[in-house]
Amino acid sequence: MQYQIILGTISTVLVLVGYLTYFKEAMFGGTKSHAFSWLIWGVMNVLIFFASTSKGGGAGAWALGASGALNFVIFGIALFKGEKEITRSDEVCLLAALLGTAFWAITANPLWSVIIITGVDGIGFIPTFRKAYKKPAEESVTIFVLSTISYFISLFALQTINLVTFLYPASLLITDSLFVLLVLYRRSSSRPS
């Protein structure tokens, strides 16, 4: 149990470092966050944090709780300094996320709740993936690299491993990794020869 607390602490510290870096980049650098994604992620992370802790996630859920709270801060920053080009597909993703959240609210089964929230979180990534593809220089990879490492560590910090506690952080590990690869690829392919 002691190693899980240590891993949960390390995972949470990585999240905090990543978000502090992102706040600086979003406020004073060239990073332009997509508000829709950060709003969706904030809601989903908080919901999963509570679901995971209710099913024994323990220290492995701490990073999700921290991420959830900090996602709302980025959402606030994005409203003022973030991406202003909102497309129809972005609006559809937000609507789908809201519908998924409503469906989650009527689902009494924790496993189905986590599956729905994981899907909604993936939908929340679509506007940011679209924007990063078009404008890779306006995205930070630091937060997503640190989050990937954090979620990997948090899987080993879970005090109880089951689909409710494992599925969401594992999906974040995958989507965050794919996002980093997309941004790095687009940056390298859009550089002049």
SS (H, E, C) 88-130: HHHHHHHHHHHHHHHHHHHCCCHHHHHHHHHHHHHHHHHHHHH
183 vs 135: CA distance, rounded Å? 9
Q: What angle do CA 85, 90, 96 make, to 5 degrees?
A: 160
Bigger pLDDT: 38 vs 192: 38
What is the pLDDT confidence band of residue 63, given thresholds at 50, 70 and 90? very high
Residue 193 has pLDDT above 80, yes or no: no
Bigger pLDDT: 111 vs 17: 17
What pLDDT is attached to residue 1? 62
Bigger pLDDT: 55 vs 19: 19
Residue 17 has pLDDT above 90, yes or no: yes
* Range with the poorest average pLDDT among 42-46, 90-94, 114-118, 123-127: 90-94
Does this model's pTM top 0.85? My answer is no
Bigger pLDDT: 122 vs 101: 122
156 vs 67: CA distance, rounded Å? 18
Bigger pLDDT: 70 vs 126: 70
Cβ neighbours, 10 Å, residue 1: 7
Structural tokens at position 163: 């689909």
Instruction: List CB contacts of 31: < 8 A, sequence separation 6 or more.
Output: 22, 25, 138, 139, 140
